[in-house]
Amino acid sequence: MRRECARFAYLDLLRFALSLAVLVYHFFYFGPRCGVLPADGALDVPALALFLFAVEAFFILSGFVIVLSAANRDPLDFAIARLTRLGPCLLVCGSITFICLTLWPYPPTPGVGFKSYIATILVVPLVRYGGVDWSLWSLKYELLFYGLVFLGLCGRSVIPIGPRSAITLMLAAEGATLAARILAQSHSFQFGSYFIAGVVLYAARTRRMSWPSMGPLLVILFPMLAIESWWEINRVNRMLGLPEWSAWSGAWIAAGLIALVGVSVLSDGARLGYPARSLIQKLGRVSYPLYVLHQLFGYWLINRMAASVPLWQAQVITSLIVVGMAWWIAMVLEPPLQRGYRKCGFVLVAFLRRALPEGRRIARGGSLSYRAASASAAVPAQPGGRAG
């Protein structure tokens, strides 16, 4: 396990960099331009528009890491691992955001409803309802992908499907959806091609497929990525009243995303020294609370501070505060909460497996025992998720 984590150390570094990119995008580009922060806080740096795609890079990472983490798990173990990864962070960060924005509202920062708070701490309702932070929109697509992987794990003992067949089926489904949106002249965005790109990188990194056999799949996948990237950048530009980009922009954005994530996936982090790997792993753990906490809580804090200090100082100080809080949450609060979630999950699963024939049948793939799962709590978490 430790050797496997070391091999993918660069993914943790990329996750932290992407979380910082999302923070910079929201504090210095999107927030001032959409009216949530004072307009003079916007940096006149056109390249910041591309930081929007840090979330799409997270989706590619999730496609890789979630399939990697599911490879040697049965469905119920996989579900517990995902809930243990998401639940504690959403509980802590969602509670901080809800309490601050509800008890001490400060316009123009929007408020947060109790329904959104409940959806956040229960995790699964985020598929249907919005969370306490605007950034949680991405968890809808993450959870849907988790559900797809869960169903695949449930069915693999009945209908074994190889990597090439699985990727082909996902491409066919995404292609049909994309074609339907084009025919309906609807540029709604579903992000499926990014997750598929991550699965393709998984097949390449683990040598489940040869590069020549992946060639036709990449020829089909890349135009999907380009079209959806072009739609997304122009959707946001229209929202902010900015000029639209050309169709070719989608191609080089897609190429950049694949290159960025691909280099991190294919690089061997085991060559790094232990101190560097340890620091990078901690930064990777910080990335998820940083992403979940930063947006509305950050807007609220910037607006309050801007009443007494220059706006740029409020933006910089808030950025440092949010990063520090995310570090504290990841290092201090999350570990005991994750152990508690994991214990509760395995107690529940053990009960279901004894009570339901279906549970015993699903578990035939070789479940982790409760004792092994508890012992694994001491092992550093694998890279992945948020986005993994």
Burial 100-137 (b: 16+ CB within 10 A, else e): bbeeeeeeebeebeeebbebbbebebbeeebbbbbbbe
pLDDT tens readout for residues 21-79: 999 999 999 999 999 999 999 998 989 999 999 999 999 999 999 988 887 788 888 99
| Assigned domain for 128 exists | yes
| Assigned domain for 388 exists | no
Longest CA–CA span in the chain (Å) reads: 64
pLDDT tens readout for residues 170-196: 777 777 777 776 666 555 557 888 998
Residue 15 has pLDDT above 60, yes or no: yes
Residue 379 has pLDDT above 60, yes or no: no
C-alpha distances (whole Å) from 9 to each of 63, 78, 143 are 17, 22, 24
Question: Is the sign of the CA dihedral 91, 96, 100, 103 positive or negative?
Answer: positive
Q: Which two tokens stand for residue 101?
A: 């924005």
> Do residues 274 and 23 touch, judged by C-beta distance below 8 A?
no
Please state the rounded mean pLDDT for residues 81-89: 94
Give dist(CA 176, CA 220) in Å, integer.
12
Residue 384 has pLDDT above 50, yes or no: no
If one counts the domains in the chain, the total is 1
> Do residues 61 and 14 touch, judged by C-beta distance below 8 A?
yes
| Assigned domain for 385 exists | no
Give dist(CA 101, CA 56) in Å, integer.
28
C-alpha distances (whole Å) from 113 to each of 118, 138, 298 are 9, 19, 18
pLDDT tens readout for residues 235-273: 999 999 999 999 999 999 999 999 999 998 888 766 777
C-alpha distances (whole Å) from 33 to each of 16, 59, 316 are 25, 25, 17
pTM above 0.75, yes or no: yes
Give dist(CA 237, CA 18) in Å, integer.
21
Q: Which two tokens stand for residue 207?
A: 């040598």
| Assigned domain for 387 exists | no
Give dist(CA 351, CA 354) in Å, integer.
5
pLDDT at 365: 46
Other residues' Cβ atoms within 10 Å of the Cβ of residue 184:
9
Residue 376: pLDDT band by 50, 70, 90 thresholds?
Answer: very low
| Assigned domain for 279 exists | yes
| Assigned domain for 86 exists | yes
Q: Which two tokens stand for residue 364?
A: 């035939």
Q: Which domain holds residue 229?
A: 2-376
pLDDT at 270: 64
Give dist(CA 127, CA 20) in Å, integer.
25
> Do residues 62 and 388 touch, judged by C-beta distance below 8 A?
yes
pLDDT at 72: 79
pLDDT tens readout for residues 324-362: 999 999 999 999 999 999 999 888 877 777 776 555 554
| Assigned domain for 302 exists | yes
| Assigned domain for 155 exists | yes
C-alpha distances (whole Å) from 117 to each of 112, 131, 213 are 7, 6, 46
Give dist(CA 273, CA 334) in Å, integer.
26
